[in-house]
Structure 1
Amino acid sequence: MIPATGFAKRTVAVFGLGKSGLSTVRALEAGGAKVVAWDDGEAKRKEAAAAGVTLEDLTTRGWSDIAAFVLSPGVPLTHPEPHPTVKLAQAAGVEVIGDVELFHRSVRALAPSGRIVAVTGTNGKSTTTALIGHMVKRCGGDAQVGGNIGRPVLELDMPTASTVYVIEVSSYQIDLAPGLAPDVAILLNVTPDHIDRHGTIENYAAIKARLFSHQGAGDTAVIGVDDAYSSDICTRVSAARAQKVVPVSIGKALGHGVYAIDGQLYDSTGTQTQKAGELTSLRTLAGAHNWQNAAVAYAAGRALGYPREKIIASFESFPGLAHRMEIVGEQDGVRYVNDSKATNADAASKALATYNNIYWIIGGKSKEGGIETLVDYFPRLRRAYLIGAASDEFARTLEGKVDYVRSQTLDRAVEAAANDAEKGVGELRVVLLSPACASFDQFNNFEERGEAFRAGVLKHLSAKGRASA
């Protein structure tokens, strides 16, 4: 654990008592603060009380003694309307921050030499964060990986001389981290998402851009430039000349930056362009979207001072990320891919662009726009299996374009898709869970949905007397 410094003997309010909220309470108390906490959910309050957390209803108590307010990133800060506790804090002149801000302040106070790599973007940030963490370890560093992936940031270990903190940060977390200044800041891409929480795509992009606003000389900004919003951010950050900027592209050569063309990775950050490595052979980083993940990870590795050869070698041993194009089995020409983390159409497009002969399991709680943007990938599909609340909406989009069945539940979809794929012949066939939806209609989260898919695949293979790959 990293003690949250700066509030010893002062009162700090915490709202939201999920995993990160409880870790925030513990870190603040470890730093000597007095913590008062609350959650709108009775179950969360009971869990916190059982853990010894001091509970006070922050909507009814006074705020005059509160030094800071730490808000869970899942609670509205601005849109569609600030949570009542946010309004009370702002009226009392109390700063509203999140656990990532506490983490940053504490690391800088306790270990100024500790390095922080922060990764954001609409899609790909979890894979990239995990890949960079793996790279740091393979290059001899002490990688501490967390944030919006895995462990809450304040539960990461205290730094050693070789510690590199690799943290995934969402737009919600950046919004609550006004002082965050990573040594290496990464923006992969910006596409429409979370508009309900930020109001407009322009506001969403502006919040992503804040990741670079406090960087200075000696820091590095790695920015994907293949979408208009990110490209514009790169132009503005470069013009400010505060930090080193490394643009990254997949598909176009850059005069300065890192880019990949046809799976070949090139480094043009020096005086001459050099071929850095081969990406097409990386089984756990298949597809152009993963080449972008690898390219920005490469740029981060170079910024951290790692040799080119060690970086590329680390990619070859990367095991992949659970629930993100995760290969959970392969038998008799059928590959089973768990892409449960694809909770919107843009994320699902990455898997659809990677494979042909797809038996696509899709559905859940639909997001704005549905799957209309995926029409160009429909020729890659053999059949679609609709589950969850979005079934009617998606059936209308698929009608007349793709053969589909209404499986309703994931277990039935897995069995039907597996049986259909096994009847095929010839080149690789892929049973793909890439829902393009949130999971909340039938599952608690995308992880639970992915585990259910994995269990269904293993059950199917076991019933036929075969071992999974």
Structure 2
Amino acid sequence: MIPVPGYEGQAVAVFGLGRTGITAARALIAGGARVLIWDDNAESRTRAQAAGLELTDLDRADWDSIAALVLSPGVPLTHPEPHRFVIRARELGVSVIGDMELFAIAMQALPQERRPSIIGITGTNGKSTTTALIGHILRKAGRDVRVGGNIGDAVLGLEPPRAQTVFVLELSSYQLDLVHSLRCDVAIWLNLTEDHIDRHGDMAGYKATKFRIFAHQTRDDLAVIGVDDDPSSAVMNRLKAEHVQQVTAISSGRALSRGVYALGGKLFDATGKSCVEIMDLASVAGLPGNHNAQNIAAAYAAVRHLGVEPDQIAAAIQSFPGLAHRLELSGTYKGIRFFNDSKATNADAAAKALASFDNIYWIAGGRKKEGGIGSLARYFPRIAKAYLIGEAAGEFASTLGSAVPHETAGTLENALGLALRDASSGGRTAPVILLSPACASFDQFRDFEHRGDVFRTLVQSRIGKP
């Protein structure tokens, strides 16, 4: 755990008692704060008490004595409307922050020689894979690494830094909304497509929140920017014009005169005086697809900035096993491959998976997100048949129409059975059964991890482990 200084003897309110909130409360207590914790959910309050924490009803608390409100990322800050405690805090001039800001405070309090390097990763898609890949590369290079944030452990639950420690942190827009002083030695912006509009109001609000990742960088720091979508390309142009930090462009679809890019199945480094081929991406079994080529390019640029040599990076990338629920190979059977891409909770994420294969037996659906799947039309020729589940099945069927053969399966289990039947008898070369729902999971599952775990278990019960 990382103790948080600066609030010794002061009252700090912590609202939202999930993993992040409970960890933040403990880190503040360890730093000497008097912590007032609460959650509107009775089950969450019970879990906090079971963890040994004392509750304080914030509706009845003396807010005049509270120095800060620490908000869990999922609690509304501005949209669709601020939570009542956010409104109360603002009325009284109480700062509203999150656990990532507490982490920043703790790092700034360290002596200069003990301050770690921090790599922050944001973007609509690919954050978790890029975060995990960077951590993997740095470990293989012998670095002291902590990986967390929006992936794995809450940041304040990580082991405190030693000299030369590197923190690799996935940063969601919800977390960045609550950050005021975090400085990233390397800030990675992968991409930007429409998502979380209900939380940020519109695309402009979403983009502005993501842009906070660059707020405190200096000339010694690096911004790594994916330039394969127009909003992100505009971000790169803005940063280059402002001349605050170093900027490296990355791409997975075109050659760059300056930057790191993937093209023709190979990774190239054009950040120096000449362009150098780094590796053949066909050898990276754990990261299929063009979207993962962008993740690889981002990871390469980040760790090169920290001095890791190209040959070390290439060897580490080849040994990366991939992440669960992100195009995870869940089994093979008579030439059929089964991929669990349950993390694809929107159409843009599903597009990355559909672009990676041909002869796809596609399992899709769940609780729909804004925009549907109309944007996926260009990938329809890759789909042999679709199997639709959950609340979105009817709408998805209407969108697919006569362009893609489809069947309403209802449940994931039924969908897998139908897909296996058809893939086994369809006579297609190298068929793929792909769970890439383009939907949230909450109509039938606890979360995307639960959905992916169920898919993996169903696959393995039918055909055995990969």
Partner of 1:46: 46
Matched residue SS, 1:77: coil
State the SS of the aligned residue for 1:165. strand
Question: Aligned equivalents of 2:382 and 2:51: distance in 1?
Answer: 51
- Equivalent residue letter for 1:225: V
Q: SS in structure 1 opposite 2:4?
A: coil
What are the superposed Cα offsets for residues 35-77 of structure 1, whole Å, 9 maximum, x if unpaired?
A: 0011111110111122222222223322111111100110110
Q: Alignment partner of 1:64: what SS?
A: helix
Distance 1:126 1:411 in 2: 27
CA distance, structure 2, for counterparts of residue 319 and residue 160 of structure 1: 27
1:11 is aligned to: 11
Stretches of structure 2 that go unaligned for 5 or more consecutive residues are: none
What's the CA shift string for 1:206-239, capped at 9, x where partnerless? 1111111110021111011111111111111112
State the one-letter code of the partner of 2:37.
A
Contact 2:346–2:437 under 8 Å retained in 1: yes
Deviation at 1:405, TM superposition (A): 1.3
Q: Secondary structure at the match of 2:124?
A: coil
Report the 3-state secondary structure (helix = DSSP H, G, I; strand = E; otherwise coil) of the residue aligned with 2:282: coil
- Which of residues 318, 327, 335 in structure 1 aligns to 2:337? 335
Q: Give 3-state SS (helix, strand or coil) of 2:251's partner.
A: strand
**Distance in 2 separating the partners of 1:162 and 1:455:** 41
Give the Å deviation of 1:426.
4.9
Distance 1:419 1:5 in 2: 59
SS at match of 1:286: coil
Structure 1 match to 2:364: 362
Q: Distance in 1 between matches of 2:345 and 2:27?
A: 31
Residues 259-298 of structure 1, C-alpha deviations (whole Å, 9 max, x = no match): 1211221112112222222212211111110000000000
Letter aligned with residue 380 of structure 2 = F
SS in structure 2 at match of 1:146: strand
Residue in 1 that maps onto 2:202: 200
- Of 164, 180, 183, 2:182 maps to 180
Corresponding residue number in structure 2 for 1:168: 170
Greater shift in the superposed pair: 272-281 or 386-395: 272-281
Picking from 411, 435, 439, the partner of 2:437 is 435
- After superposition, what is the alpha-carbon deviation per residue over 1:374-422, rounded to whole angstroms, capped at 9, x for unaligned? 1111111111111111111111111211111111111111122122212
- Residue of structure 2 in register with 1:247 after alignment: 249
CA distance in 2, matches of 1:245, 1:68: 34
Establish whether residue 303 from structure 1 lines up as the match of residue 309 from structure 2: no
Partner of 1:221: 223
CA contact (8 A) 1:257 1:268 kept: yes
Deviations along 1:294-325, one digit per CA (max 9) or x if unpaired, are 00000001011100100011000000000000
Could you tell me which amino acid in structure 1 is paired with residue 465 of structure 2?
A: S
**How far apart, CA to CA, are the structure 1 residues paired with 2:58 and 2:76?**
15
State the match for 2:465 in structure 1. Answer: 468
Q: CA deviation at 1:111?
A: 5.8
Instruction: State how far apart, in whole Å, the 2-side matches of 1:242 and 1:398 are.
Output: 47
Offset of 1:255 from its aligned partner? 2.0
SS in 1 for 2:63: coil
Q: Is the 8 A contact 2:359 2:428 kept in 1?
A: no
Aligned to 1:464: none
Match of 2:57 in 1: 57
**241-250 vs 438-447, greater mean Cα deviation:** 241-250
Q: Is the 8 A contact 1:264 1:279 kept in 2?
A: yes
Q: Tell me what 1:93 maps to.
A: 93
- Measure the CA separation in 1 of the matches of 2:453 and 2:253: 34
Does 2:80 match 1:83?
A: no
What is the alpha-carbon distance in structure 1 between the residues aligned to residue 61 and residue 107 of structure 2?
32
Find the residue that maps to 1:145 and give its secondary structure. Answer: strand
Identity over aligned pairs, percent: 54
1:118-157 alignment to 2 at 5 Å?
118-157=120-159
In 2: Cα distance, 1:44 partner to 1:305 partner: 44
Residues 262 and 297, structure 2, Cα contact 8 Å, conserved in 1: yes
Distance 1:294 1:111 in 2: 33
Q: 2: CA distance between counterparts of 1:107 and 1:447?
A: 31
How far the C-alpha of 1:344 sits from its partner, in A, is: 0.2
Partner Cα separation in structure 1 for residue 428 and residue 150 of structure 2: 41
C-alpha distance in 2 between matches for 1:404 and 1:410 = 14
Alpha carbons 1:439, 1:449 under 8 Å: kept: yes
- Equivalent residue number for residue 266 of structure 1: 268
Contact kept? 2:223, 2:248, Cα under 8 Å: yes
TM-score (norm 1): 0.97
CA distance in structure 1 between the aligned counterparts of 2:294 and 2:415, rounded to whole angstroms: 31
Gaps of 5+ in 1: 462-466
Question: How far did residue 343 of structure 1 move?
Answer: 0.2
Residues 410, 426 of structure 1: CA spacing in aligned structure 2 closer, same or farther, 3 A cutoff? closer
Amino acid at match of 1:19: R
